[in-house]
Structure 1
Amino acid sequence: MLGFVLGTGEGREILREMNKFTEDIVVSTATAYGGELLKEYKVKHMNTKPLDLEGFKNLIREWNIKVFVDVSHPYASEASKTVIKACKEENIKYIRYERESYFDKVDYKQIIRLDSYEELKKALKDIKGNILNTTGSNNALLINSLGLENRVIHRVLPSYTVIKKLTEGGITLDNIIAIKGPFGKAINDGIIKEYNIKAIITKDSGKEGGVEEKVNSAIENNAKIILINKPKVDYGTVFNDLKDLILYLKEV
């Protein structure tokens, strides 16, 4: 049995390829919504609730999982550490699949790299103008709590729950753009110009996450990129190419 932790857009593509040769698959997602997106694929079991260490260990034992593939979001480092520990304690193989870093190949002098959101205040002190936060609603309240002098516009999913959380946390509707991505260059250009954006806060979410269009718009409009680096995790075996991962799993 193969186990998968799925938390990114690659989940559907992975299961589609896996179903070409097996249905002996157990999937764990953190939300019911994530499970709903994957319901068309054939699996033996799908968990749709967050699991702690014991939860993952029980899942491994109950379904006799031999290999666990972690495809969780690259910034969900605590989830990955939990899966790594569960695999180690249950003595099974752990594999990480992660998009290649887009920024490793970008030559743009206006990129400022940070290891945490707490470093933003210092990084933005010399930037006069509005900031666009594209790192999601989970980080919006943290950024808002830093007391930045800049006006920060938060681009988030058009969800009632998300907007309610932000407004109750002190972020006004004037500083919220609720729209579902990924976005083409034209939309990014329009937002940058409409809101007079001087810097964009982003994650290294890979080309599939629309980061290339975001960077191209920043370059064209002379806006800085504030990059929050991926957390450093010792994953062990890592695949960056989906075809290579599938070929490997066929031989397991």
Structure 2
Amino acid sequence: MIGLILGTSEGKSILSLLNKFTEDILISTATEYGGELLQNYKYAYLNTKPLNLEGLKELFKEKGIRILVDASHPYAVEITDNAIKACSELNIEYVRYERASCVDKFKDHEKVIEVENYEGLYDKLKYIKGTVLNTSGSRNLDKILSLGVENRIVHRVLPSIKVMNECLSKGVKIDDIIAIKGPISYNLNCAFIKEYEAKAMILKDSGIQGGTEEKIKACVDNDIYAFIIERNTRNYKTIFYNEENLVQYIVEKLKSTKTKM
């Protein structure tokens, strides 16, 4: 059985391509919402709960996973670490699918700045006089709030009751919340920058699919700073940035395995 850890919009494309060859697939997502998005696809088993290392190992052993594709979000560090460990301990082939970065094309712009981590933002934001747009997501809200900067920070988050309650419980004012599902267009990014008179934006390198390019373009064209939280880089043994190439590799692997059997 093939294992798929899905956490990005490309997951549907990967699954659709695999369905041309097999339905013997285990899917694991971190949320029920992620599972709901896959209702029109074919698979043998669906897990919609976050799993730790032991949970992954138990699931992989129970379902007889032979090859695992980790297509989790580029910033989902914990699940990737656990998936790599689980595969190593169970002798399962680990394959990484990752969105390609789109930051390099903007590196010549002096106001497009990569920051190693959230802690490093403080030294950047303390020189910003004005409002900052935080588009790094509600899961990183504590990291932003703990910086203790004097700037007004407007947080763009998912429009769900759970997320809104989290923001309010942590002291974020209603006026400092933009509740909208991304990715959003270049024009809308520009509109938010102008509406809030923002002087900087905090974002992640989530690739073209995650709306990163539109965010950076909007920052550049409006002459404000784009502070990009860097990805945690790893040296993967097998990694793909293209869904078709990934699926072709998996299919060839499965054919090879059947031939040996």
Say yes or no: TM over 0.5: yes
Letter in 1 for 2:43: V
The yes-or-no answer on 1:54 pairing with 2:54 is yes
| Structure 1 counterpart of 2:82 | 82
Cα distance, 1:203 vs structure 2: 0.2
CA distance in structure 1 between the partners assigned to 2:78 and 2:65 by the alignment: 21
Correspondences of 1:30-179 after superposition (within 5 Å): 30-106=30-106, 107-179=108-180
The TM-score with structure 2 as length reference comes to: 0.94
| Structure 2 counterpart of 1:228 | 229
Letter in 1 for 2:27: V
CA distance in structure 2 between the partners assigned to 1:249 and 1:52 by the alignment: 25
Cα distance, 1:163 vs structure 2: 0.9
Letter in 2 for 1:53: L
In structure 2, runs of 5+ residues without a counterpart are: 254-261
CA distance in structure 1 between the partners assigned to 2:112 and 2:237 by the alignment: 29
CA distance in structure 2 between the partners assigned to 1:99 and 1:44 by the alignment: 26
CA distance in structure 2 between the partners assigned to 1:137 and 1:235 by the alignment: 28
Cα distance, 1:211 vs structure 2: 1.1
Cα distance, 1:216 vs structure 2: 1.1
CA distance in structure 2 between the partners assigned to 1:53 and 1:235 by the alignment: 19
Cα distance, 1:157 vs structure 2: 0.8
CA distance in structure 2 between the partners assigned to 1:119 and 1:96 by the alignment: 28
Contact 2:17–2:244 (CA under 8 A) maintained in structure 1: no
1:31-71 C-alpha deviation (Å, 9 max, x unpaired): 11111111211101111111111211122211111100000
CA distance in structure 2 between the partners assigned to 1:233 and 1:143 by the alignment: 25
Is the partner of 1:26 in helix, strand or coil?
strand
CA distance in structure 2 between the partners assigned to 1:186 and 1:105 by the alignment: 20
Is the partner of 1:251 in helix, strand or coil?
helix
Contact 1:121–1:148 (CA under 8 A) maintained in structure 2: yes
CA distance in structure 1 between the partners assigned to 2:177 and 2:142 by the alignment: 12
1:132-181 C-alpha deviation (Å, 9 max, x unpaired): 00000111232112111111000011111111111110110111011111
Q: Which moved more, 1:70-79 or 1:138-147?
A: 138-147
Cα distance, 1:233 vs structure 2: 3.0
| Structure 2 counterpart of 1:191 | 192
| Structure 2 counterpart of 1:2 | 2
Alignment identity in percent? 50
Cα distance, 1:230 vs structure 2: 0.5
Contact 2:12–2:38 (CA under 8 A) maintained in structure 1: yes
CA distance in structure 1 between the partners assigned to 2:109 and 2:247 by the alignment: 34
Contact 1:3–1:68 (CA under 8 A) maintained in structure 2: yes
In structure 1, runs of 5+ residues without a counterpart are: none
Contact 1:77–1:233 (CA under 8 A) maintained in structure 2: no
CA distance in structure 2 between the partners assigned to 1:126 and 1:190 by the alignment: 24
Is the partner of 2:209 in helix, strand or coil?
helix
Correspondences of 1:192-231 after superposition (within 5 Å): 192-231=193-232
Contact 2:98–2:241 (CA under 8 A) maintained in structure 1: yes
Q: Which moved more, 1:80-89 or 1:98-107?
A: 98-107
Contact 1:205–1:211 (CA under 8 A) maintained in structure 2: yes
CA RMSD across the alignment: 1.0
Q: Which moved more, 1:197-206 or 1:58-67?
A: 58-67
Contact 1:114–1:226 (CA under 8 A) maintained in structure 2: yes
The TM-score with structure 1 as length reference comes to: 0.97
| Structure 2 counterpart of 1:246 | 247
